[in-house]
Amino acid sequence: MSYEDFAGLFLDVCLDVALTLLGVAFLLTVIRIIKGPTLPDRVLGLDMLTSVAIGFIAVIAIDTGYTLYVDLGIALGLVGFLATVAFARFILARGKTGDDSDRQDLQAIDDDPYSGRGSGNIVDAGEGR
């Protein structure tokens, strides 16, 4: 077996292993999106799904040798980042996170937008007790 044959065989094995691991990551991420339990968990799952898709695109680009796939991966990364920022702003503005009952215990900021009171000043967490 020559060096070039070994290198080609090694690349094929590495690509197969990478696609298998990305497939497992994809399935686990879909399970996390379905199970939740909170909206931020689902948003994080969608962000991870975008990252796994970029990984698939990168592996396919290496396998086929087409450099156009790299541009698609960069564009998908940008769109995924913007979608994550948009979902985070939605959660901050209106979404239920499942942690709403725990907010009452956290009073580090006097003007908590969820508490409905306060002057807007940042205070020490132990100062008001």
Task: Show the DSSP H helices in the chain as ranges.
Answer: 3-35, 39-64, 68-93
**Tens-digit pLDDT profile for residues 23-69:** 999 999 999 999 888 888 899 999 999 999 999 999 999 999 998 99
Residue 97 burial (C-beta neighbours within 10 Å; 0-12, 13-18, 19+)? middle
* Domain layout of the chain by residue ranges: 3-95
Q: Angle, nearest 10°, between helix axes 39-64 and 3-35?
A: 160
Q: Which residue has the tokens 């994080």?
A: 44
Write down the CATH number for the domain with range 3-95.
1.10.287.3510
pLDDT on residue 17 = 97
- Please state the pTM of the whole predicted model: 0.70
**Tens-digit pLDDT profile for residues 75-84:** 999 999 999 9
